[in-house]
Amino acid sequence: MLHTRVGTLELLSPLLTGSGTFGHDGAATRFVAAGDLGALVLKTVTPRPRPGNPPPRLVETPSGLLNSIGLENRGLAAFLRDTVPKLETLALPVIANAGGESVADFERMAEAFDAVACFAAIELNLSCPNVKGGLSFSASAAAVEEVVGACRRRTRKPLWAKLSPNVTRIQPLAQAAEAAGADALTVCNTLLGLVIDWRSRKPVLGAGFGGLSGPAVRPVAVRLVAEAQQAVKIPIVGSGGAQCADDVLQFLVAGASAVQVGTVNFRRPDAVSRIAGDMRALLAAEQTTVAALVGSLQMSRKPPPLPTTATAG
């Protein structure tokens, strides 16, 4: 009932973890039951170690969280040496997430991840707003095409391009990624935001700006999925504020073949299993399946005709 496909990738469940919300090493998967989590999407790894941003790294906002973790990770070499052996023991698909500050960085990551047998796909973090250079890839169609194209030449694994919502129109970026050979799009990353302590005249977060996640961003993300899926033929993975089964089902109807849940994992480590259970109940009650719901959005509701008196003048 929960079975879905993202391109060639068959998944037992459409529920995935959002990058950076369920760890690097798979240890947190002990909190979810087999078959509930379709794939584990890892926290971003970069070629070189990154200490991350100074604290505070997180602040609550109405119905959301603003974060600036700053891609803290120990770098590719340490990841391959210390973390990959743990991931190889997991009994579910693992999707690596690559970050970088240059096209060459992304190429290096794609090549290294291609050689890791247990990775079912590679997601490119083109859109993390916290890193210098990160925004530029996702903000320009030419840059998206260049970096996705470069990675395409380095790997035969499914390549997912994770796009940013911080753009005027997402369609050109979605099309650029598709043209460059992406197998799927993840729509979308966090929304750039700022929380200020007005008394000190300073940002609350140590790094200044942050990325907004959580239920506050969900309607934006669902809209972007609906827009992106009209522009491309490749599958879309929804991401942004899904907290419960109803939210996930909205993403599916909007056109997502799978949905990443992120911030809700902070609330409770078994969130994915709870959502999966609720989805089974809702789908059974509606006598439908995930596959049948994907992209089933009926968008247009025509406005009523204006009364003749109004049109006359």
Partner 1 sequence: MEVELAEALGRVAPGQFAMLSPGDGSGPLIPRPFSVYDQPAADRLTFLVQVIGPGTQALAAIPVGGSVLCTVPLGNGFVVAPAEREVVFVAGGVGSAPFLLYGRERLRRGGKTTLFFGARSAERLYDREAFEKERLPTVYATDDGSLGFRGNVVACVADALRAGRVGRDALFAACGPEGLLHAFARFAREEGLDGELSLETYMGCGYGVCNACPVATEAEGPLGGWPYAKSCLDGPVFALRSIAF
Whole-angstrom Cα distance, residue 268 to residue 260?
15
Q: For partner 1, which is the closer residue by CB, 209 or 266?
A: 266
As measured in angstroms, the least distance from the Cβ of 139 to partner 1 is: 25
Q: For partner 1, which is the closer residue by CB, 70 or 93?
A: 70
From the list 60, 59, 114, the residue with the least C-alpha distance to 84 is 114
Whether 188 is catalytic is no
Whole-angstrom Cα distance, residue 211 to residue 269?
21
Measure the CA dihedral 69/76/103/55, to 10°: 10
As measured in angstroms, the least distance from the Cβ of 27 to partner 1 is: 7
Whole-angstrom Cα distance, residue 129 to residue 228?
20
Q: Residue 196 corresponds to which amino acid?
A: I
Q: For partner 1, which is the closer residue by CB, 61 or 288?
A: 61
Q: For partner 1, which is the closer residue by CB, 22 or 137?
A: 22
Residue 311 DSSP SS3: helix
Count of residues binding partner 1 (CB under 8 A)?
Answer: 30
**Cβ-contact 57, 69 below 8 angstroms:** yes
**Cβ-contact 122, 152 below 8 angstroms:** no
Q: Which of 128, 151, 188, 244 is catalytic?
A: 128
- Residue in 99, 134, 158, 215 binding partner 1, rule: CB under 8 A: 215
Whole-angstrom Cα distance, residue 295 to residue 312?
40
Stretch in the footprint of partner 1 (CB under 8 A) among 14-22, 176-184, 185-193, 300-308: 14-22
Whole-angstrom Cα distance, residue 38 to residue 2?
9
Whole-angstrom Cα distance, residue 310 to residue 313?
6
- Residue in 88, 219, 268, 296 binding partner 1, rule: CB under 8 A: 268
Per the rule left: phi > 0, alpha: psi between -120 and 50, beta: everything else, 201 is left
Q: For partner 1, which is the closer residue by CB, 179 or 244?
A: 244
As measured in angstroms, the least distance from the Cβ of 264 to partner 1 is: 9
Q: For partner 1, which is the closer residue by CB, 63 or 136?
A: 63
Whole-angstrom Cα distance, residue 13 to residue 5?
9
Give yes or no for residue 79 binding partner 1 (CB under 8 A): no
By CB under 8 A, the residues from 19 to 78 that bind partner 1 are 20-23, 27-28, 31, 43, 51-52, 55-58, 60, 63-65, 67, 69, 72, 74
By CB under 8 A, the residues from 282 to 301 that bind partner 1 are none
As measured in angstroms, the least distance from the Cβ of 163 to partner 1 is: 22
From the list 41, 2, 1, 47, the residue with the least C-alpha distance to 24 is 41
10 Å CB burial of residue 286 (0-12, 13-18, 19+) is: exposed
Name residue 294's beta-bridge partners. none
From the list 158, 211, 159, the residue with the least C-alpha distance to 188 is 211
As measured in angstroms, the least distance from the Cβ of 82 to partner 1 is: 11
As measured in angstroms, the least distance from the Cβ of 263 to partner 1 is: 7
- Residue in 176, 265, 283, 294 binding partner 1, rule: CB under 8 A: 265
As measured in angstroms, the least distance from the Cβ of 57 to partner 1 is: 5
Q: For partner 1, which is the closer residue by CB, 31 or 209?
A: 31
- Residue in 13, 138, 263, 273 binding partner 1, rule: CB under 8 A: 263
Binding site for partner 1 (CB under 8 A): 20-23, 27-28, 31, 43, 51-52, 55-58, 60, 63-65, 67, 69, 72, 74, 214-215, 263, 265-269
Q: Which are the catalytic amino acids? A: 128
